Chain A
């Protein structure tokens, strides 16, 4: 099993619908992150969480919300999806004591909003 699992892998949804992307990890890491990837723009941080009670906005949080249900689970929600939220979404984790060791990434969720 993968260390960081994202579900679903692919999703097509309609404008205005609520959708949740889920991320779970078996690394035992404290920190979890949600990024979106768009062609030519790289990865941009949406939200991050340093522990279960700590949630922080990233650079592009508008239109998104998150929930850290447990140390191992971090969900991203789009309350009312819009077409410009079509992107590849990645969850990542890191160890609080070794943040400079980099992140472990999931395989991504490809979301299309029509």
Chain B
């Protein structure tokens, strides 16, 4: 069965610093991969998705993620953190377009002034 592992339940970065949130997946077939963001007291919002097209995926709010098959990774990055990026981020995987999405346990991103 497919799964995702997010490394680090909490990550703190200084404002203006690089954001790197790590996600590794397990799947027997090429997966679909997603990053979602959850701001306080809100539902989840799709940041970006990988669907077997370009390996470098650009999303909203300046985030991007790179699919690396050899490392089974889909890490999320942003060159310069803003205070407004403070939220919880979820990596998720789906086996194919008709399957359910399985979520990781989440990484809470803290931005230090």
Interface residues of A (CB under 8 A from B): 4, 33, 35, 40-45, 48, 58, 90, 92, 96, 98-103, 105-108
Q: Is the interface of A mostly helix, strand, loop or mixed?
A: mixed
Question: Who on chain B is nearest to A110 by CB?
Answer: B41
Taking CB atoms, residues of chain B closer than 8 Å to A41 are 105
Q: Is the interface of B mostly helix, strand, loop or mixed?
A: loop
Cβ of B45 and Cβ of A105 under 8 Å apart? yes
Q: Is B34 an interface residue (CB 8 A)?
A: yes
Cβ of B103 and Cβ of A48 under 8 Å apart? no
**Closest Cβ of chain B: how far from A46's Cβ, in Å?**
11
Taking CB atoms, residues of chain B closer than 8 Å to A108 are 42-43
State the CA gap A41–B45 with chains docked (Å): 18
**Given A102-B46, A107-B43, A108-B43: A42 in contact with B97 (beta carbons within 8 A):** no
Question: Who on chain A is nearest to B105 by CB?
Answer: A42
Q: Is B72 an interface residue (CB 8 A)?
A: no
Taking CB atoms, residues of chain A closer than 8 Å to B102 are 45
Cβ of B43 and Cβ of A43 under 8 Å apart? no
Cβ of B43 and Cβ of A105 under 8 Å apart? yes
